[in-house]
Structure 1
Amino acid sequence: MESTNKIAILGANGKAGKFLVNEALEKGYQVKILTRNSNNMTITNENLEVIIGDARDFFAICELLKGCQTVINAVGQPKNEPYIFSTVTKHILKVMKGFEIKRYILISGGSVNVAGDQRIVNKIGAHLFKVFLPKMMQDKYKELQIIQSSDVDWTIVRLPFVMDGKGIGKIKESLVDMPGIKIKNGDIAPFVIKQINSERYVGKCPFISN
């Protein structure tokens, strides 16, 4: 896998995003982020570049990904707007192809069920999300199909309920079931940043939890 020096992060102002930015900077990466409002970003660092724009804007994605070797997508859903997940990923993958970027890491929820999942609780949970949030899940599965049919080195990190706060420093990982019901958002970033140059979960959808 190609060594990465510069990464692009979408959703940097979200629950997990700020921890992702800090973790990446602490590990010595150059980081580019996309935000609609620069006032929301309180982190300052000479290795941090802020791009103002919307993740649904193809040209904003082009500007963000320029010069990067890895893309981390932690975009959340804007309130009272059509679901954006598949649109954002479609733009990202198109730009990645143009720039010959290979590594794509998506932060997603445990409600997305993939082939190989075993635990019945996960499957019931995924079914309930389909019942109560059908449009969201339709868009999430569309996003999944787009990623799985791409030729990038992708990883989809699936999360349980995310709680605010510093991490406890220990997580559980599984490819077949959600190992716990919650995770501190400070524990997400170390796992995700570690995946940048790791092939362990390429083409896979690991669950992580505390």
Structure 2
Amino acid sequence: MSTTTTPKTILFLGASGGCGFSTLRRSLEAGHTCIALCRTPSKLSAKLPAELLTKLKLEQGNAHDVAAVARCLVNPSNPGRVVDMVISSIGGAFSMKTGIDDAHVCEKGAKALLEALALVRKNGATGSPRIVGVSSTGITESGRDIPVLMIPLYKGLLAVPHKDKKMLEDLLVESGEQWTIVRPAFLTDGPAVGKVRAGMEDLTAHKVEKKEIGYTISREDVGKWMFENLVEERDAKWVRKAASITY
């Protein structure tokens, strides 16, 4: 169990692979109580060793289903409270036509999460979970945060999924909740290599506080960064901020 931070109860949405899975695995290893909502739980369970799988509360359901999300928001050890944190890394499958098979996957997920949170509070649960939403670079309205050579890709093939990510960001910013938006550079596969740089933007003030521009980052390193800086954070500097992370 982690000796550096108080154990948290964390709900994961979209953790069957990629950035979310990387964060989930590290959170389980550190002793945090983790709940994962998956459409196909076997896709996630097949990736975890038995000793970690026994520590995971694995729920079948869709992250767009308000009732399913609400069920998972209740803290299993204290039904009168909501979970401490929600990490949402949901996304669609790649499409050559529009860049994604569901142009509103993140928007619908954010709406369902916020509606579910309102529902469990209406039913008597208390608490304000930290909501972490995985977005992308290339979305900021406060200047350029991608290399010039990446602009045609981001404004062309990725325009539709990035519009969806922008809706996710807007919904979280307007929610009044305690959120952090993580904007990775272009995602790659492969191991965590470290040396991650993180820019910071205050989205309510439309102000870039620290600018970092880079080409890529691995999904494994995104998950590692989220675990170390958000799950195991020592302060609240990323609350209601966007983090642009890259190599």
Q: With the length of structure 2 as denominator, give the TM-score of the two structures.
A: 0.74
Give the aligned partner of residue 195 of structure 1. Answer: 230
Give the aligned partner of residue 30 of structure 1. Answer: 33
Secondary structure of 1:174's partner? Answer: strand
Paired residue type of 1:75: I
User: Mapping of 1:141-156 within 5 angstroms?
Assistant: 141-156=166-181
Percent identity, aligned pairs only, is 23
CA contact (8 A) 1:170 1:187 kept: no
CA distance in 1: counterparts of 2:186 and 2:161, whole angstroms: 17
CA change 1:82–1:132 in 2 (3 A) is closer
Give the aligned partner of residue 217 of structure 2. Answer: 183
Give the drift of 1:128: 6.4
Paired residue type of 1:189: G
Q: Kindly provide the CA deviation profile for residues 62-105 of structure 1, in whole angstroms up to 9, marking residues without a partner as x.
A: 12222121000010114633421111111112323424333101
Return the index of the structure with the highest Cα Rg. Answer: 2
CA distance in 2: counterparts of 1:17 and 1:147, whole angstroms: 18
Q: With the length of structure 1 as denominator, give the TM-score of the two structures.
A: 0.85
Aligned residue pairs total 206
Give the aligned partner of residue 89 of structure 1. Answer: 110
Paired residue type of 2:215: I
In the TM superposition, structure 1's runs of 4+ consecutive aligned residues that sit over 6 Å from their partners are none
- Indicate the larger mover: 176-185 or 101-110: 176-185
Paired residue type of 1:158: R
User: Mapping of 1:4-153 within 5 angstroms?
Assistant: 5-41=8-44, 42=46, 43=48, 44=50, 45=52, 46-67=54-75, 68-78=83-93, 80-97=101-118, 98=121, 99=125, 100-115=127-142, 117-119=143-145, 121=147, 125=151, 129=154, 132=157, 134-153=159-178
CA distance in 2: counterparts of 1:105 and 1:21, whole angstroms: 13
CA distance in 1: counterparts of 2:165 and 2:220, whole angstroms: 24
